Amino acid sequence: MGKKSRIIPGFGLSMGVTLSMLALIVLIPLASLVIFTAKLTPSEILEVITRKRVLASFEVTFITALIASLINAVMGVVLAWVLVRYDFPFKRLMDGMIELPFALPTAVAGISLTSLYADTGAVGKIFAKFGIKIAYTRIGITVALVFIGIPFVVRSVQPVLEKLDPLYEEAAGILGANKSQIFRKVILPELSPAIFTGFGLAFGRCLGEYGSVVFIAGNQPFKTEITPLIIMSELQEYDYSSATAIALVMLLAAFVILFLVNLIQIRNSKILGGGH
Amino acid sequence: MNAVSKTKKSLFADTSVSKAPVMSREGSVSIHEETTGSKAVKYLLIGISVLFLFVMLVLPLITVITEAFKKGFGEYFKAISDPDTASAVTLTLKATVIAVLFNTVFGVFAAWAVTKFRFKGKKILVTLIDLPVTVSPIIAGLIYVLTFGRQSTIYPFLEEHGLEVVYAVPGIILATVFVTFPFISREIIPVLEAQGTDEEEAAAMMGADGFTIFRRITFPHIKWALLYGIVLCSARAMGEFGAVSVLSGHLRGKTVTLPLHVEILFGDNKFMPAFAVSSILVLLAVMILIIRSIVEYIGKDRG
């Protein structure tokens, strides 16, 4: 594509429209975040983000997001495996259902999971018999985050598994490897970049998730209060400095995760991409 | 170009309602069957998957419907014909339509600019376009409050001209546009990238003007991707909660969208009405999933 460009008309127009819309929606708001941040002193930011309640919310948010993403990493591989390798009735339906968490508004998921997992709910009742409370605890938050994160690992592992040549598994089998050895030593290494990618994307999404979590969390300070909720309440009290300081931590975490995911994917596409 | 497409691919994988897994699924099954392990493992794994999806996805849907009709059809229709619900439906539709229109125009122009020309800073441009989906919805709301709220430098100007953004309808619409910003461009860009620029170049050299080239050559290639993007964009736009919640102020009948209306009802312990309103959103979500599958299927069929 190294030809002398601009044979095709419309560069100025399309670039102009693109940049002005981008400026209006993304760049100007982003710039105001930067400007506002510049007004804060480092000690101010540090004071806000080391408040006990804020630190507790980081703990709740990171731990629940991590556990939920780990559960999704495992279940995502199982689901992708089942969808790619097996044939059974209603497989297409199951495949289409995976995306439900993207299509269903988070608030609806939130209230529905809450009533389902509360002590009086259909699932919560069963656990309540064993003295396990789900809704209004960290377990409840994790359940909501698992719901939100389902599609990520499945959709990143699925295409890789589809392209995986069964030849290597057959070869390993002929060489005497048993099923679990084949899975661990032949299949898993091929899938691991995709699993990490899906895990990273799910983790990033879980850190920022709000709608599905606020209902089931119970929102008790120090116990089940997530960071996005703290930002929300600071905003409602017009304390923009605190809200921004906490948001910066979350943004930083999101960018680090995104950066790592991109790193893995670039490496991955170099290895797997081949001719493309 | 190669480097660009690589980064782009990785960014687009985010919230990956991807079209990648469609190909070659049917064909590969039989080959794998023998290497897949014993029947017991197969049924165990299918069983685990079905149970997991049933508990995590199907049960919540059933809950919405059963809770919505708990007190019978009469109460259900009373709840969804409430004037507050009607105004929430109107506002949600308004925000969704504007977001789809805005992002379609943006998506088409941005895809044209990114794929038909070579220029410096393309990577940065693509990253910036994708930025909104990587930001937490609450933080998206926050940056709009910082831009248009009381402490903003442009607030006096807005006030003078009677423009309310924060805690008003424009804020809700802007937030909706923001969270769905890359949804259409990122469906079109990969298609155009794969298609290359040869056809457009040939047409341009034969004297076709830009609009004709787009209409006759580019558009037929992207129409399915465009439709797919519109479906995804509508799904997200009508369901957006966090960002809209920050900018709404929750003024009943004025700045309350459907998801916010659900939140308010649920918060007031009006569970049945909350689920009745949710059932509208569930219906829309299921319709979107079906349309999505159809578009994906036809799009794949026609290339």
pLDDT score recorded for residue A272 = 62
- Residue in chain A lying closest to B263 (CA): A107
Task: Return the closest-CA partner of residue B286 out of B276, B297, B278.
Answer: B278
Q: Is the model's pLDDT at A124 over the cut of 50? A: yes
Task: Return the closest-CA partner of residue A247 out of B267, B149, B218, B138.
Answer: B138
CB nearest B10 (choices: A116, A251, A262):
A262
Domains of chain A: residue spans and CATH? 25-275 (1.10.3720.10)
Work out the pLDDT band at A78, boundaries 50, 70, 90: very high
Query: pTM for this structure?
Result: 0.87
User: For an interface test with B, which of A8, A85, A163 has the most B Cβ atoms less than 10 Å from its Cβ?
Assistant: A8
Please give the structure tokens belonging to residue B180. Answer: 């769905």
Q: A84 vs B32: CB contact, 8 Å cut-off?
A: yes
pLDDT score recorded for residue B196 = 85
Q: DSSP letter for B58, please.
A: I
Q: A26 vs B236: CB contact, 8 Å cut-off?
A: no
Please give the structure tokens belonging to residue A131. Answer: 């003295």
Q: What is the maximum alpha-carbon separation in chain B?
A: 74
pLDDT tens per residue across span A201-238:
999 999 999 999 999 998 888 999 999 999 999 998 98
Q: B57 vs A243: CB contact, 8 Å cut-off?
A: no
A197 vs B contacts (CB less than 8 Å):
10, 13
pLDDT score recorded for residue B30 = 42
- Residue in chain A lying closest to B167 (CA): A236
- Residue in chain A lying closest to B205 (CA): A7
Q: What is the mean pLDDT of residues A113-118?
A: 95
Phi/psi-derived region of residue B249, left when phi > 0, alpha when psi is between -120 and 50, beta in every other case: left
Q: A107 vs B197: CB contact, 8 Å cut-off?
A: no
Amino acid at B53: L
Q: B46 vs A82: CB contact, 8 Å cut-off?
A: yes
Q: DSSP letter for B20, please.
A: G
Please give the Cα distance from A126 to A132 (Å, whole number).
Answer: 9
CB nearest B13 (choices: A26, A111, A197):
A197
> A192 or B18: which carries more pLDDT confidence?
A192
Least confident of A182-186, A259-263, B297-301: B297-301
pLDDT score recorded for residue B101 = 97
Please give the structure tokens belonging to residue B22. Answer: 């469609």
User: For an interface test with A, which of B41, B44, B101, B142 has the most A Cβ atoms less than 10 Å from its Cβ?
Assistant: B142
SS3 B82: coil
A273 vs B contacts (CB less than 8 Å):
6
- Residue in chain B lying closest to A11 (CA): B113
pLDDT score recorded for residue B38 = 77
CA atoms within 13 A on the CB side of A141: 30
B136 vs A contacts (CB less than 8 Å):
207-210, 228, 247, 250-251, 254
- Nearest chain B CA: its distance from A121 CA (Å): 9
Q: Which residue has the tokens 């509508």?
A: B234
Please report, for residues A54, A175, A188, A228, A230, the alpha-carbon distance to residue A250 in angstroms, rounded to integers and kept in the order given: 12, 49, 31, 9, 12
Identify the burial level of A215 via C-beta atoms within 10 angstroms of its C-beta, where 0-12 means exposed, 13-18 middle and 19 or more buried.
buried
Please give the Cα distance from B192 to B199 (Å, whole number).
Answer: 11
Task: Return the closest-CA partner of residue B175 out of B216, B222, B139, B141.
Answer: B141
Please give the Cα distance from A36 to A265 (Å, whole number).
Answer: 34
pLDDT score recorded for residue B14 = 41
ipTM of the assembly? 0.89
Return mean pLDDT, chain A: 90
Identify the burial level of B233 via C-beta atoms within 10 angstroms of its C-beta, where 0-12 means exposed, 13-18 middle and 19 or more buried.
buried
Q: In sequence order, what are the residues at sequence separation of 6 or more whose Cβ sits closer than 8 angstroms to the Cβ of residue B154?
A: B147, B148
Domain parsing of chain B, residue ranges = 1-68, 72-302
Please give the Cα distance from B247 to B174 (Å, whole number).
Answer: 9
- pLDDT beneath 50: ranges in chain B: 1-36
pLDDT score recorded for residue B39 = 83
Work out the pLDDT band at A116, boundaries 50, 70, 90: very high
Please give the Cα distance from B195 to B23 (Å, whole number).
Answer: 18
> A260 or A4: which carries more pLDDT confidence?
A260
Phi, psi angles (nearest 5°) of residue B292: -55, -45
Q: What is the mean pLDDT of residues A94-112?
A: 93
Please give the structure tokens belonging to residue A24. Answer: 């209006």
Residue B223 CA, distance from chain mean position: 17
- Nearest chain A CA: its distance from B104 CA (Å): 11
Angle between helices A240-273 and B122-134 (to 10 degrees): 120
Q: A115 vs B63: CB contact, 8 Å cut-off?
A: yes
Identify the burial level of A226 via C-beta atoms within 10 angstroms of its C-beta, where 0-12 means exposed, 13-18 middle and 19 or more buried.
buried
A235 vs B contacts (CB less than 8 Å):
141-142, 145, 246
Please give the Cα distance from B59 to A101 (Å, whole number).
Answer: 13
Q: DSSP letter for B240, please.
A: -
Please state which CATH number belongs to domain B72-302. 1.10.3720.10
SS3 B112: helix
Please give the Cα distance from A176 to B258 (Å, whole number).
Answer: 59
Please give the Cα distance from B139 to A208 (Å, whole number).
Answer: 8
pLDDT score recorded for residue A271 = 66
